Each structure stands twice: as structure tokens, then as C-alpha cells.
Amino acid sequence: MAAPNIETIVSLSKRRGFVFPASDIYGGLGSSWDYGPLGVELANNIKNSWWRWVVYERDDIEGLDSAIIQNRLVWKYSGHEATFSDPLVDCRDCNARLRLDKLDVDPEDSKAMCSNCGSKNLTDPKDFNLMFRTTVGAASSDDDESALAYLRPETAQGIFTNFKNVLDTSRRKLPFGIAQIGKAFRNEVTPGNFIFRTREFEQMEIEYFCRPEDAPRVHQEWLDGFDNWIESLGISASNLKHYEQTKEELAHYSERTVDILYRFFPEREDESKQWDELMGIANRTDYDLRVHSKKPEDAEGKRINPDSTEDLSYFDPQTNERFYPYIIEPSTGVNRTLLAVMMDAYEERTNDKGEVRVILKLKPELAPIKVAVLPLAKNKPEIVEMARKIKKDLQPSMRAVYDDTGGIGKLYARQDEIGTPFCVTVDHESLEDNAVTVRDRDTWSQERITVDSLKSYLADRLNK
């Protein structure tokens, strides 16, 4: 079972402290979200899983953390200044501002229909550039072009401009990749669906450099690899599928892009509308390293980039060839991954009193809290003291919390709902036998374990 819709996760997130609307006390700011105590842990655990899998468990990837604000020329030569835009239309009947490429088309006359009121009375499309503008330094005015800069709309460009730095300092040979996690910003025309499409979000991107003839094979290997990684997060294969972008949909730099889609909208009757992009894996060819290099020339012999001071080509000592490597780019959104993980982990179960309980069946690796230590009687100082000590002893090796703010049934239910794999209960008998009850989130089964073996018992099960 997965969540029946995104709304279920919105309300769980707010109720339990995963995600809150940003600037809420001032009426919010459309589609801006803050990650609360549990949300920040879940997001960090997803990012750590990705980083470990990509950077530590492979021998061919280096990490990077490049600046959010770069020289404006980066965005000029990447093509973003000229082409990173959405076609914007206004509905003349209801005044909604819409993205033309996301509207349904009436099959009878091929005209786009307003998603708000159904009208076909739309203005001609205008290109709307999605990059957020800012000024750097003490600019004379807001429209001082010499101070103009952008908030990056993707982390990728910081990787391309550092290609030579990383190559030279790490003494890498092709094929190798550079990985980066960081914020990106897009002034989306139609943000929405909770954290699915926002104007500020986080990406986990790999730019993998290879010989041109190897690119199709490497592309396929990354697709297979990411299918496995996403499933390792607990997301069911039946809620995932691939989508091959058409020639018309491809970004200006891409030869082939395959999106991995997740069933974000299971409530929609039309099955084909249940899916949307979780991540994309593109073959960016040698486009990026070429356009940022000082040497390449156009058909008339003019440098395509007269501003760059560097040539980002690669010399292969084995074949004595110099060329611009091809790039395979797996690009994943942290926020969409978090949403998919929560939706897929969501389960409702009826207990023997007929009450419906929510269980977030997160993989232990991703769970914000690994174990909750609960005293059965909070008015008994010895029990409280023992529970607090157990929590303190567990804390260095796993995220543990102590909670005595309710009856045991309520405390279990609260931990189930936030995905805590284990609850440890300290009772009167614990004072006699130095043992505790360990309750499993998924089966609700209970086991008596001695305090001395508790840490290794939990560690074994958490690492499964």
C-alpha cells in the first residue's frame, strides 16, 4: 500500500513535523516549504544514502560543492540566458497564468485549454526565463546590468566549470564523474503539488565524463544503477517507470534523456496522468565542455566562446587524442525523492480495537529516528532514570529519543506514524531483570531483550 494522494502526506508532514509551509505566520509564500525536525533528518538521510552510494561505494566519482552565484557568463554560454524559459500564456477568461506546454489540448481543434476554467481563449505564448535575477555588490540600481547575476537553476554548471580543476588535482582518467548536492532555484510559472514543484529546491547531480563512443552504454548503466538505488530506498518497482523524452521535449544540450517517473498521483482516474518525473538521466554529449572552452570555433572560424580563459578538452595518453568528453548526467531532486519515499512508505492498518493507525514503513537507513525509549510509568523515578540512561547509551551509535508524554499506546502510534523502526519500553520488571521490551514497527511484535545486548540487537536489525 502507498499513500492514496499527496494531500495525505501534506497533512502527516504538518501534523508530525516533516514539512511546514514557509513564512506561515505571514500568510505563506506560494510553494515555499520549510523542513521541520523530522523532515531535515529524512532529507539528510536520503542525501547521505546517495552520496555514500555514488562517492564512497564507487571508485570513479569525486565530490564537489560549487557556488550558487556564479559569473553571469556561465549562464550565457551554457545557453540558459537564451533558452531556459517556459512558454507563458494568460487565460483571457479567468486571468490564470499558465505554462502552455503543460495544458491539455482539445483533440477537435488542437487548441490548448485553460487548466483552471477550460477556456480556449488564451493569449499568444511569451517566453518567460526561469532564472532568478539578483545583483552582486553595491550596484547603482536594481537594473544595473554590470552587477546582474543569477541564482543557479541547476548545480551542473558548477561541475563543468570545475572539470579541469578536479581532473588535474585528482589525477583522474576517463571515465570518471563529479557529484554534487545543492540548492537550485527556478522561478516556476506554475509551482505546486506540495514539494513536487517549488521555486527553491535541492538537486543531487552527477556529471559522468566518458569517451563519446562509450556514452550510450554508460547511459544505460546509470539508468539500471538508479533503478536499483531508488528501489533500495524502499520505493516499489510497480510505482516506477521510464519515459523516453521525444526529440521536441529534449533540452538544448541533450541527445537522449530518459526520465524515471514515480506514481505521484495515484488518485487520478486516467492511469497515464498518475506519473511524473522523479529524476532524469541525460546524454549531454560534449555540448557543455565545448561551450565553456576558449578554443572551439563556429563555421566562420570565430571562437564560440571569446570570454573563456580555459580549454576543457581532455588528452588521452593511451591513444594520443585530444577531445571533449561526452557527459552522462543523472539528476535527482532531493525533495521529489523525499515525497516519493514518504508516499511509498505510507500504510494504514486497523488495530484490534478497530482503530486505524498510520505506519510509515521507512527503510531503517532513512528513518529520522531509529529508536524511541519509552518508560511505562513516568511517575516511577527508577524507571524514568533507567529509560533515560538507555537512551543516552544508544545515542552515539543511533538517533534515539526519550518520550514520556503519553500513554504507551499513544507513544507507539506516534512513533509508527513517523517511521521509527523500534520502540524500547522500560517497565517495572526491567528494574529486576535488567531487560526491556523491543517492539517492531512493521509487525508490532514484541521481544524481551537484556539491556546489555540491546545496542548490538538494534544495530543488527537496523543494518539489515
Q: Which residues bind ligand GAP (CB under 6 A)?
A: 154, 156, 186, 188, 197-198, 201, 203, 205, 277-280, 329, 331-333, 335-336
Strand 371-375 and strand 400-402: pairing? parallel
Helix (H) / strand (E) containing 164: helix 163-170
The minimum distance between CB 325 and ligand GAP, in angstroms, equals 17
Q: Which is nearer to ligand GAP, 196 or 402 (CB)?
A: 196
**Distance in angstroms (rounded) separating the CA atoms of residues 188 and 27:** 20
Rg value, the chain, Cα: 26
| Cβ-Cβ contacts under 8 Å for 435 (sequence gap 6 or more) | 429, 448, 449, 450, 451
- Angle, vertex CA 421, rays to CA 419 and CA 422, nearest 5: 130
Q: Is there a contact between 226 and 242 (Cβ–Cβ < 8 Å)?
A: no
Q: How near is the Cβ of 183 to ligand GAP at its closest, in Å?
A: 11
**Shortest CB 198 distance to ligand GAP, Å:** 5
Smallest distance from the beta carbon of 160 to ligand GAP, in angstroms?
10
Least distance in angstroms from the C-beta of 291 to ligand GAP: 14
Nearest CB to ligand GAP, comparing residues 31 and 425: 31
Min CB(103)–ligand GAP separation in Å: 18
Strand partners of residue 322 = 315
Nearest residue (CB) to ligand GAP, 337 versus 425: 337
Residue with smaller CB distance to ligand GAP, 209 or 402: 209
Closer residue to ligand GAP, CB minimum distance, 52 or 252 = 252
Alpha-carbon distance 111 to 91, whole Å?
A: 13
The set of cell numbers assigned to 199 is 521555486
Give the residue at shortest CB distance from ligand GAP: 333
In the complex with ligand GAP, which residue's Cβ is closer, 191 or 364? 191
Q: Is residue 386 within a helix (H) or strand (E), and if so which, with residue range?
A: helix 381-394
Number of Cβ within a 10 Å radius of residue 57: 9
